[in-house]
Amino acid sequence: MKCGQRRSYYRWCILCERKQSEDNFKNWTSGNNDIDVFIKHSQFYSSGPQTFLEWIPFNRLENIKYLSKASRSTVYSAIWKDGPRILWNHQNQEYKRSKTQVLVKLYHEDQVNEILNELKIYLDCYARDCALLIQFYGISQHPDHKAYLLIKQYAQNDSLHNYILYNFKSLDWEIKLHLLLYLAEDLKALHNSGYVHRNLNPPNVLVFENGLCAIGSYSKCRKDLSSPNAEEIFGWQRYMAPEFLRYKPYTKASDIYSFGMIMYTVGTGMIPYNQSHDVQYLTLDVCLGLRPKIPVNIPESFSELVIRCWNNEPESRPNIHEIHNTLMNWWSSIYNKCPNSTCLEFLAANDRDHINLKSQKIIQQKPENDKPLILPDLKNLEPLELIKFIISNHFVKYINRDELSTTMEHIGSGHFGTISKTIWKKTNDRVVCKRLKNIESINNKLVEAFLHELSMHRRLDFCSRIIRILGISFDETTEEYLFVMQYADGGDLRNYLQQNFSRLKWEDKIRLAHQITEGINYLHEENILHRDLHSKNIVIHQGEAKIIDLGIAKSTETETNLHPGVFGMISYIDPKLLENCSYKYDKKSDIYSLGVLMWELSSGCPPFNNEDLILLRINLICGAREDPIPDMPIEYLNLYKSCWDNIPDLRPSIKQVFNKLDKMLNFPNDNNDHLILQDSINKSEIEQSEDLTIKEVF
């Protein structure tokens, strides 16, 4: 302490720290103004080493090792050679640095706001005297790939999921309650600061070497919602509250439901719901009241608290303060060996667990005697029973068949259904009706196909680039399910180009490509693959492009055999799929189809029109592509060519395509017939895809 003033906080002088930080500001920059301002602000107002965030040069990190990958980030461990200021030097009365192992979370260059929002929540909790247990150290950046790195405290025992997986047999109830107690402490700090977590599950919880359990990520946190909001469904479905699955407001009580499921996992060693449960119908079953069966060897008081946490009515669940106090009482009774009923109950459970451990199958498996609750089989319900079930649970609006005009004009057919347009009498608006076909292409699983497409639309209901489903209906005369959807006044993209291409300027074509890309970007952010992108599955409404037909769309988070095989128009299908029927469709396959669509927008013609399909298949596998149109903007040309590259890993991510199209629309000249687009690209300059490997990054 050099200023001679009394310290503002324990072992921390704000005046000295501010002076030291300001003197050092000129010695570093992240290259990003938002990051620079944020870090400088945190240092200027820091009240201790826990809130003193730093810009950490990449060359100060060593021994970087891959740990895991999530949908939008990759996690590594590393050694920070300098380390944070965590060791207190009594002689010099200051903090010293110490070489430290850290967690490194890799984000892409366009995810700066996600990093800063997570750090803002971290600092905000500290500012409200609600300190979180994990410590964030700062931000770094890879010098070549420009990926940003969030640096935080390393967890020696990995995630709670893996800790339970590999250590459950050695955990007694004192350790289990200790883990849950600290997790409750962390969630209490978050709730006291006015936040809800929204993605609480074992992989997002970290376990440190001292048995301390803490929330590891705050990327989905936000302020508590007090009114209905169009929530997106994300995260691990088995830990989601039923109201969240039904698009109701996400509140602190929703976090409590997830905490109850984590209690179940810690107490039993099992993931909620056994592996045989069909994930596709889990949402419906959970909303109906399905919960895991708690084994009889679990202490009764523990089981009662778990059941209260996952009550179907949010207002009936306990708050985090009650849970924390209860866990504290239980743990302290065991730790201090208090001769009371609670201590004896948990000690007796330890003895039962020891006897049963050899026969118990933990994590991701169910005990042999643990049978799921019996609920109606949704796949075998009669049509009217299924409709009644959907209506009673408010999954989607039901439109009586007599509300629709008897005159239905056929406008097209797809792989799995027929499309007609009619009038919805109630609103006097045109709507589109899609009838599903019960055919071999969907394994003759009509109800499953219906629920699958309904589920896809519900997840995407609030994206303006996806045609909305207005409701469902049922035709009793033909016993067919109907999706009632928005009507597009411009028809499908193929017909729209045929009728309007001569009037379209380059800016119009690029804008349509931008809108299509925006819709695909929304799909991919939800981890959904469309799998059937072509110009008849894009429609134009009021001059804007929208995506339709989610019949074979698939979540990357689940496996399903509902739509086996390869579907779609050959000229739009990823050649890797044409070459190898076992090739797994991924996001880069959607990118290929987008590249073909972008060419079609530039030419106004369907790709490889009227060519023999057998020869076309062979030619596409060998690298055949449509020729470019003369006088095309060079950036647009190179972008769509990169999308249909024969090597999937060289294709850009949807975010990269979206950003480049966005840039093109921001630089038109006065003559809109020809955009002057700067800086042409080539294949070697294509940015790395989202699926970066450890070798590509480090």
Residues comprising the binding site? 434
| CB distance 523 to 537 below 8 Å | no
Cβ within 8 Å of residue 572, ≥6 positions away: 533, 534, 592, 593, 596, 597, 607
Cα–Cα dist 384/386, whole Å: 5
Cα–Cα dist 585/552, whole Å: 12
| CB distance 624 to 596 below 8 Å | no
Alpha helices for 135-251 (secondary structure H): 160-167, 173-192, 242-245
Cα–Cα dist 252/254, whole Å: 5
Cβ within 8 Å of residue 53, ≥6 positions away: 38, 39, 42, 43, 46, 119, 123, 136, 137, 138, 139
Cβ within 8 Å of residue 673, ≥6 positions away: 505, 506
Binding region for ATP: 434
| CB distance 167 to 85 below 8 Å | no
Bridge partners, residue 106, by sequence: 74, 149
Residue 330 neighbours by CB distance under 10 Å: 24
Work out whether strand 429-436 and strand 417-424 pair parallel, antiparallel, or are unpaired: antiparallel
**H/E stretch holding 342:** helix 341-356
Cα–Cα dist 455/61, whole Å: 44
Angle between helices 587-603 and 506-525 (to 10 degrees): 170
Question: What is residue 18's three-state secondary structure?
Answer: helix
Residue 697 has, within 13 A of its CA and on its CB side, a CA count of: 25
